[in-house]
Chain A
Amino acid sequence: MNHDRYDDTYIRAILSEVRTIAIVGASANAARPSYFVMKYLSERGYRVFPVNPGQAGKTVAGLTFVATLADVPEPIDMVDVFRAPEHVPAVVDEVLKLDPLPKVLWTQLGVRNDEAAAKAEAAGLKVVMNRCPKIEYGRLSGEIGWTGVNSRTISSRKPLRLGEGVQRLSIAPRGPKSS
């Protein structure tokens, strides 16, 4: 598929369907995007497993690092990759050895490797590249508008609050529930 742009429906379906996310290249450093993306996704209700051999066994923000994807203790729905483009093929090889196979391969802002993506797609995975799931979640829920970012969505329906706090919104379908 074309990876230059993605329809909102494609991104929204992925972020609505996946529940378990493994983050390859996650950091324990709070100033790194790979740290706060995992924390943000965890706070939005996803089960998040940070993967980084240098941090294995360490628990940060309530999340325990594992060394490799194979060490994640439950089936993974989505693998989010914080590694430079040249390292993506090796990650894909690891992903394709998992049983059951994950449904989605996602690579972060600035990370794109079309060859590795094609290999994952051939195995039946959906692929998103050069995007951040935190930014996409915030864009589709409406949260990102609080920061003046163009969400490229318009809606006459009320955004949905998520959880008990006042400053969290959900990407769940809005408006009256269909019967």
Chain B
Amino acid sequence: MTDETSAPPREPGFSTLAIHAGAQPDPTTGARATPIYQTTSFVFDDVDHAAALFGLQTFGNIYSRITNPTNAVLEERVAALEGGTAALAVASGHAAQHLVFHTLLTPGDEFIASRKLYGGSINQFNHAFKSFGWNVVWADPDDISSFEKAVTPKTKAIFTESIANPGGVVTDIAAISAVAKKAGVPLIVDNTLATPYLWQPIRHGADIVVHSATKFLGGHGNSIGGVIVDAGTFDWSATDRYPFLSKPRPEYSGMVLHETFGNFAFAIAARVLGLRDLGPALSPFNAFLILTGIETLGLRMQRHSENALKVAEYLAAHPKVEWVSYPGLASDRYHALAQQYLPKGAGAVFTFGLKGGYEAGVKLVSNVELFSHLANIGDTRSLIIHPASTTHRQLTDEAKVVAGAGPEVVRLSVGIEDVADIIGDLDQALAKV
């Protein structure tokens, strides 16, 4: 039998997926670009159809807090790029983390997290999550045995970043995955800084991947968004420790989500038990902008990484710079891990230390002209920040140092402008430090 619509014989490559995955011509209008379905609600075919949708018995749209066709294209695309079975797009990276832990933990449970994380995540885990009774236990990504020692009968998950913000720390995901497997808990990896172009954590044992799509996925500094990717690898029914997935749910007349949805049950649970009830939905307009950004993700990450390496080399040779922490540099402590996990480049975000300490950091960010002094990363534009006086300000002095945000530290997110102009701007600003 010939079949015109059969799948291609080989798996599509990354850039093909980045442009096409999830996005088919619109079935009603033929629109080729993904339309912005800026609507709250969707009409039902009939009463029976409505009942089937509310009961999760058929695929379709009810209300944009739960599903939206524009957001769905973003979800399928990121799932495809990460090599996952399904994804859920939400209002921000923080919302993504909130929904992941809400799906896994109940009050009194623990999770283990790498102590080298984005400062906002450290705050979320230490304070907001504690008020839900979800207790973080910190471990050191440079000492894998610290994760093993932190496991208790209450541990429900392990969380880490692939490349940690802000310090250019490369995490040995495969080694931490081995700890998670031994403990029988899922490994959650925040892949925001690497993006699936540079690193696909699911290939190394991640069970759930989260993104702040605000950063490199969107890539143009114009939209806040987050994504949760289900790897489809974790057996939620092996124990009764994940009742959202393995037990009959009263929210859906006793349906068991893992039994019903198989290897994409986590993404469904985060949607229908998390997003539906807690509500951090992504605007379809933001989903459209992030989707447009993803189409050029591969090209941008190549240029980001090339530029960042040249900037890191420049800074490493500068007399006012004490150290540079970029895993793309051969001298970096994480260079071996970067060669293992990041052969296409080490990303755009890294830190360096100024010999002049806190005052020098403040002077540098005050004198740049091309670099923007702001709290985001992952923009086409080059960005700079002094974490000790901004993003990591709320941490204790000791916690700042542990998180890689000591007083002398400056963080860069190197953009995709001409690298000579990027280096030229740092050069003139460093001259004034």
A, B bound: yes
C-alpha spacing A8/B340, complex, angstroms: 33
**Interface bracket on A:** 35 or more
Please give, as numbers and ranges, the residues of chain A lying within 8 Å of B271 by CB-CB distance.
Answer: 147-148
Q: Which residue of B lies closest to A178 (CB)?
A: B4
Given contacts A144-B59, A147-B271, A151-B22, 5 further A-B contacts (CB under 8 A): A132-B262, A147-B59, A167-B45, A167-B53, A173-B3
**Interface bracket on B:** 35 or more
Of residues 6 through 30 on chain A, the ones whose CB sits less than 8 Å from some CB of chain B are 7-9, 12-13, 29-30
B132 interface hit (Cβ, 8 Å): no
- Answer whether A149 and B7 are a contact pair too, CB < 8 Å, given A31-B253, A157-B25: no
Q: How far is the CB of B318 from chain A (nearest CB, A)?
A: 45
Chain B 23-47 near chain A by CB (<8 Å), digits 1 or 0: 0111110100000000000111110
Let me know if A174 and B5 touch, CB within 8 A: yes
- The 4 lowest CB-CB distance pairs between A and B, nearest first, are A148-B75, A165-B45, A36-B57, A150-B79
Of residues 386 through 429 on chain B, the ones whose CB sits less than 8 Å from some CB of chain A are none
- Answer whether A135 and B262 are a contact pair too, CB < 8 Å, given A7-B7, A152-B80: yes
Let me know if A159 and B73 touch, CB within 8 A: no
Show the binding face of B for A, using Cβ within 8 Å: 1, 3-8, 12, 16-17, 20-22, 24-28, 30, 42-46, 49, 52-53, 55, 57-61, 67, 69, 71-73, 75-76, 79-80, 84-89, 248, 252-255, 259-262, 264, 267-268, 271
Q: Which residue of A lies closest to B44 (CB)?
A: A167
Let me know if A109 and B262 touch, CB within 8 A: yes
Please give, as numbers and ranges, the residues of chain A lying within 8 Å of B259 by CB-CB distance.
Answer: 33, 109-110
Q: Which residue of A lies closest to B80 (CB)?
A: A150
- Answer whether A40 and B57 are a contact pair too, CB < 8 Å, given A110-B259, A135-B262: yes
Let me know if A157 and B45 touch, CB within 8 A: no
Q: Which residue of A lies closest to B17 (CB)?
A: A154
A47 interface hit (Cβ, 8 Å): no
- Answer whether A149 and B267 are a contact pair too, CB < 8 Å, given A175-B4, A178-B4: yes
Please give, as numbers and ranges, the residues of chain A lying within 8 Å of B61 by CB-CB distance.
Answer: 146, 167
C-alpha spacing A67/B89, complex, angstroms: 45
Q: Which residue of B lies closest to A39 (CB)?
A: B57
C-alpha spacing A149/B71, complex, angstroms: 12
Let me know if B7 and A165 touch, CB within 8 A: no
Picked from B1, B52, B86, the residue with its CB within 8 Å of the CB of A147 is B86
